Amino acid sequence: MLTYIIRRLFYAIPILLGVNLLTFTLFFVVNSPDDMAVSQLGAKYVTPEAIQSWKKKNGYDRPLFYNPDAAGSGAVTETIFFAKSLRLFAFDFGRSESGRDITTDISTRMWPSLAVAVPSFVVGIWVNICVALLVVMFHATRLDRWIVFVFVAMMSISYLFYIIGGQYLVAKTWRLVPISGFHAHGQFWKFLILPVLVGVVAGIGSGARWYRTLFLEEANQDYVRTARAKGASEIRILFRHILPNALIPILTGIVVLIPSLFMGGLLIESFFGIPGLGSYMLDAIKSQDFAIVRSMVFIGSILYIIGLILTDISYTWADPRLRLD
Amino acid sequence: MKADQMIPSTKIQRHFTWLLLVAVVMFLAACDERPWNDPQLPSPDGLATYQSMIISTPPKHLDPAISYASDESLFTMQIYEPPLTYHFLKRPYELIPGALVSLPEVSYLDSSGKVVNEDDESVAFTRYTLHLRDDLHYQPHPAFALDASGRPEYLFETAAAGERYHQIPDFPHTGDRPVHANDYVYAIKRLADPVIGSPMLGFMSQYIVGMKAFSEQVASLPRDQWLDLDNYAMEGLEVVDELTLTITIIGRYPQFLFWLAMPFFSPVGPEVDRFYHNPGFVDRNLTLDWWPVGSGPFLMASNDPNSEIILERNPNYRDDFFPSEGEPGDLEAGFLADAGKPIPFVDRAVFRIEKESLSQWTKFLQGYYDRSGEVHSQPAGLFDRAFQIGANGVELAPELKEHNITMSPDVQPAVYYYGFNMRDPVVGGYTEKKRKLRRALQIAFQTEDYLNIFYMGNGIVAENPIPPGIPGHLEGEAGMNPYVYDWVDGVAQRKSIEYARQLLAEAGYPNGRDDITGEPLKIFLDVQSQAINNTLMTWIVRVFSQIGVQVEFRPADFNRTREKMLTGNTQIFSFGWSADYPDPENFLFLLYGPEGPLECACDGANNGNYANEEYDSLFRQMRILPQGPERDSLVARMVELFRHDAVWLFAYYPTEIFLNNSWVHNNKRHGISRATLKYVRVEPDERAKMQNRWNQPITRPLYAAALILVALALPGVIAYRRRQKATARHAQE
């Protein structure tokens, strides 16, 4: 297994380079270094000298990909792409365009992201699996058809509707929890109730429907009929027989997401004022802070690759017949 | 049954019960006297706290040499004290001494440095002598802390030595000292240091004697460690004594006084600069850009750019008092109720960072924010919920009236406009025909309707580039643009569409068609994507269709729109300008020929590339004249030229209505200065009472939700039990 993991980690290098190149190209297609300078310096009294000075100070005074004025390997290394990308592989994210240390910001902001994402993820999976198993129990009944209809309806509704609806009803009209905000100390959990509730409810439609499909495939297997014939209760059949056997497709969907929980959620964090990495990314895009965007995309790619490796490893745990070679 | 044989459902039930118990305990713990939805942390006992918010993104820069955005000056202007400031109540805006004993003494010098009369033609330099107050004192800060031997306590040789300090409150010891004249000189030298990257470097180098040379000198020095700028002289700066300094500028530039009221000219102690250059500090965001150090009424107590910024009263702030006079009407409005009282009134100010308008607005209505905004009044789109049009114009909605919320209208010293590119072959040019074409378009564009429909009347039609509150702005018939309006029965009345059609025909476009080619006249509008929508586009198309003119929109983001303006690749473009200081020069330069991007090949402010020799000549004369009738007449002539040449399609002065909860006082808004927090007074007890009254939770939905869950679960349980007990025969049936 170790060989497999090492091999996968090596595969990750060209992927990360590709992601980096793509991010870099996309960003600079719409933003030139001059645009970034103006954005950072403000719209007034921006002289060409000030723009040049900003670019020099922040390392944007070189060509993007190829430096014809440099000799030898300098033609490639003395470029913005090389200078800004290479250090990412050493996990040196540098400073944002406004001068803040990105590593410090990320290490501070990941905790609020986790505070929302982990309970939403865990409770969401638990609720979805329970609901799906219960629906499977009533498969092919009128109740089952109605519930599937409700799932499809819930899937079709925009995530924004759940957020704004939740804020309007629970926080504004009923005044049960704060509408937004976050404090790292004190009663921080009361700021999490609504975002977690919204995250869970918004995910029930698609999540439970997906798990229902997986469980139904297992529910028609011979071992289920055997268990039922032996007198096992429906609850026992669902939780002890069907659930473990449906784990592989479930793990495919969820283990890959676990590392990405660090990254937070763009919408949830923005609407609920959670100072996590999701809103960090959104602010960076708005303010054209390429240093942050680049770092966050890089971290996101790494976490996704780690998620895929963890998924493969989890298969061996869920199904002892599988071996990673 | 053994525990390991326990079926999973029982385990789940046990876990669920445990979770429920934890939730109940946490819920009970929260049941103190504060409302459940209170998003604020309780204030330390006895401190009067002002609760506010900032919208969208936190400030990027708080270093006075770099910070320029209005969102940032909300903080820098509370922490720093520049030499001059603005009178809180008087209008038109009036400069008054801030850190100074009196307004600067002004003397004029010839090229040899000899003092000459103000009106002498040989004036080559202007010298400002600044006399500081003797009670200015910095806030307590670790940069001033000294050890037993009198050396700075927190100077580290290596990054490891200071790695336990992550925020300024982490430092156990602080010190302070009086403000010296050299601190102001040091701050100006920082503006010239290219490593700091001040936006003022290019602009101020044109004026302050020796600034450019100083900048070039320090740029060539090695910068591997802190550079003490005190070791290098700038020709135009002199420290006369501990409380006196002089600044010498090139030529005459009366507007320089206004710059002395901005944070760029606030004092910075060299030891503060040295402190923030400790090894490793910048990697932990311990910089002057995030932890400003000043002598103003407040100090930075907490700076979490992710969620909130907290200011606290500076215990070393000088004696300062609420003004005893204002403009007419201030007494009746209650703005002088605190006259003569010591300020600041509040001990603490908490600014939460809000990203979304619904949250911000809801918290304001719930009483958790004292005012509806600081820099902007209320989120767009929620205006119609806050106001309704009544017999007396804009009135508060009933919900707000019940809360005794008050309104603070504010005309901003700004102008938003759609300008013509005067070099465009179709709408540009200075022939009579081209003027008539532009005037026809001006008349057709019903600015009054535009403001009423799209801004709920929040704006004033601008017939002059200079907004209200700034000298040179005219009201009444004199303020009317006679090429677009007629003065009828004491009211400006827009000229008729028929007249616009006639002008269009005289311009060579009868019925909107080119009289030579027969092609329809089509105009192109370059606008920022976020500033236009389908409704507005439809309305503009309809407006111009009245005179047979077709419109095509070319929306783009800010960068692309700016690029088009720099290259002259626009026909009609939208732009806005907010005043840096209350002087007509700060608006009339928007039309100054050398400021045209195509003329100067730079990011000039004259985006329409308007070029009129007479205007430019008048501008050059006006900018060096002091306030007075001579200057006023030059300004009036320039405004007349602007109207005659029909340079802008339309323009308006933005207005906003700020809302205040009943427990906040002294809410008069100042369009130029943000240094107004020290005047704000709150009644915390009244706020707590109202918050409790307005935020009693409605718990019935919780019970209803529980009932619904039971109602949903019950048939399932019944069906399940029936199924479990069913025999094979019953199941088949």
Given a contact cutoff of 8 angstroms between Cβ atoms, the answer to whether B89 and B325 are in contact is yes
Paired with B406 in beta bridges are: B660
Residues of chain B with pLDDT > 70, as a percent, come to: 92
| Per-residue pLDDT reduced to its tens digit, B122-170 | 999 999 999 999 999 999 999 999 999 999 999 999 999 998 999 999 9
Confidence of residue B69 (pLDDT cuts 50, 70, 90): confident
Given a contact cutoff of 8 angstroms between Cβ atoms, the answer to whether A246 and A217 are in contact is yes
Say whether pLDDT at B21 is over 60: no
| Per-residue pLDDT reduced to its tens digit, A98-133 | 788 899 889 989 999 999 999 999 999 999 988 888
Low-confidence winner among A234-248, B386-400, B467-481 (lowest mean pLDDT): B386-400
Residue to substitute from B290, B307, B366, B416, interface A, most A β-carbons within 10 A: B307
pLDDT at B378: 57
Question: Which chain A residues are Cβ-neighbours of B61 within 8 angstroms?
Answer: 98-99
**Which of B37, B197, B580 is closest, CB to CB, to A171?**
B37
The chain-wide mean pLDDT, for chain A, equals 87
Question: Which chain A residues are Cβ-neighbours of B602 within 8 angstroms?
Answer: 47-48
Residue A125, H or E segment:
helix A102-137
Confidence of residue B379 (pLDDT cuts 50, 70, 90): low
* B36 close contact with A: CB closer than 8 A: yes
pLDDT at B179: 97
Length of chain A: 325
Q: What is the 3-state secondary structure (H, E, C) of B432-479?
A: HHHHHHHHHHHHHCCHHHHHHHHHCCCEEECCCCCCCCCCCCCCHHHH
pLDDT at B2: 42
CA distance B626 to B640: 21
| Per-residue pLDDT reduced to its tens digit, B695-711 | 999 999 999 999 988 88
pLDDT at B494: 95
Contact B201 A53 (CB under 8 A): yes
B119 to chain A, closest Cα gap in Å: 30
Contact A109 B354 (CB under 8 A): no
* B725 close contact with A: CB closer than 8 A: no
C-alpha closest to that of A146 among A157, A155, A156, A135 = A135
A95 to chain B, closest Cα gap in Å: 8
| Per-residue pLDDT reduced to its tens digit, B512-543 | 999 899 999 999 999 887 778 889 999 999 99
Given a contact cutoff of 8 angstroms between Cβ atoms, the answer to whether B443 and B652 are in contact is no
Three-class SS state of B352: strand
Contact B362 A172 (CB under 8 A): yes
**Which of A31, A57, A180 is closest, CB to CB, to B39?**
A180
**Residues 453-512 of chain B whose Cβ lies under 8 A from any Cβ of chain A:** none
Contact A176 B57 (CB under 8 A): no
CA distance B127 to A79: 47
| Per-residue pLDDT reduced to its tens digit, B636-665 | 999 999 999 999 999 999 988 888 999 999
| Per-residue pLDDT reduced to its tens digit, B243-259 | 999 999 999 999 999 99
- Alpha carbon B180 to its chain centroid, in Å, reads 30
**Which of A99, A271, A275 is closest, CB to CB, to B287?**
A99
C-alpha closest to that of B135 among B282, B357, B294, B316 = B316
ipTM entry: 0.85
| Per-residue pLDDT reduced to its tens digit, B317-329 | 999 999 999 999 9
* B562 close contact with A: CB closer than 8 A: yes
Contact B202 A173 (CB under 8 A): no
Contact B701 A169 (CB under 8 A): yes
Given a contact cutoff of 8 angstroms between Cβ atoms, the answer to whether B38 and A192 are in contact is no
| Per-residue pLDDT reduced to its tens digit, A257-279 | 887 787 778 889 989 989 899 98
Contact B60 A235 (CB under 8 A): no
> Which residue type does A211 have?
Y
Confidence of residue B34 (pLDDT cuts 50, 70, 90): confident
**Residues 180-239 of chain B whose Cβ lies under 8 A from any Cβ of chain A:** 194-195, 197, 199-203
pLDDT at B553: 92
| Per-residue pLDDT reduced to its tens digit, A134-172 | 888 888 888 889 999 999 999 999 999 999 999 999 999
A14 to chain B, closest Cα gap in Å: 30
B243 to chain A, closest Cα gap in Å: 31
Average pLDDT over residues B19-29: 54
pLDDT at B4: 41
Residue with the bigger pLDDT between A88 and B273: it is B273
C-alpha closest to that of A105 among A116, A94, A114, A118 = A94
- Look up residue B331 and give its two tokens: 């007494």
Q: Is the pTM of this model over 0.80?
A: yes
Average pLDDT over residues B14-23: 55
Say whether pLDDT at B27 is over 80: no
CA distance B318 to B340: 15
Say whether pLDDT at A17 is over 50: yes
Contact A100 B290 (CB under 8 A): yes
CA distance B509 to B502: 9
Residue to substitute from A55, A179, A194, A274, interface B, most B β-carbons within 10 A: A179
Average pLDDT over residues B435-448: 95
Confidence of residue A78 (pLDDT cuts 50, 70, 90): confident
pLDDT at B9: 47
Question: Which chain A residues are Cβ-neighbours of B163 within 8 angstroms?
Answer: none
Three-class SS state of B110: coil
Average pLDDT over residues B43-47: 74
pLDDT at B15: 55
Three-class SS state of A85: helix
Question: Which chain B residues are Cβ-neighbours of A28 within 8 angstroms?
Answer: none
**Which of A50, A271, A283 is closest, CB to CB, to B199?**
A50
pLDDT at B377: 55
Contact B353 A190 (CB under 8 A): no
pLDDT at B697: 93
Locate the DSSP E strands across B561-687.
572-578, 648-660, 664-665, 681-682
Q: Cα separations (Å) of B505 from B360, B512, B549, B645? A: 52, 8, 12, 18
pLDDT at B5: 42
Give the burial string for A33-61 (b: 16+ CB within 10 Å, else e): bbbbbbbbbbbebbbeebbebbbeebebe
A236 to chain B, closest Cα gap in Å: 7
Say whether pLDDT at B101 is over 80: yes
Question: Which chain A residues are Cβ-neighbours of B305 within 8 angstroms?
Answer: 100
Given a contact cutoff of 8 angstroms between Cβ atoms, the answer to whether B408 and B665 are in contact is no
Question: Which chain B residues are Cβ-neighbours of A175 within 8 angstroms?
Answer: 35-37, 366, 695-698
Question: Residues B600, B261, B143, B134: what is their CA dihedral angle, to the nearest 10 degrees?
Answer: 140
Question: Which chain A residues are Cβ-neighbours of B580 within 8 angstroms?
Answer: 44
Residue with the bigger pLDDT between A194 and B394: it is A194
Q: Cα separations (Å) of B717 from A38, A131, B469, B722? A: 65, 13, 73, 8
pLDDT at A134: 83
Residues of chain B with pLDDT > 90, as a percent, come to: 64
Given a contact cutoff of 8 angstroms between Cβ atoms, the answer to whether B297 and B344 are in contact is yes
Confidence of residue B1 (pLDDT cuts 50, 70, 90): very low
Question: Which chain B residues are Cβ-neighbours of A286 within 8 angstroms?
Answer: 56-57
**Which of B9, B36, B284 is closest, CB to CB, to A235?**
B9
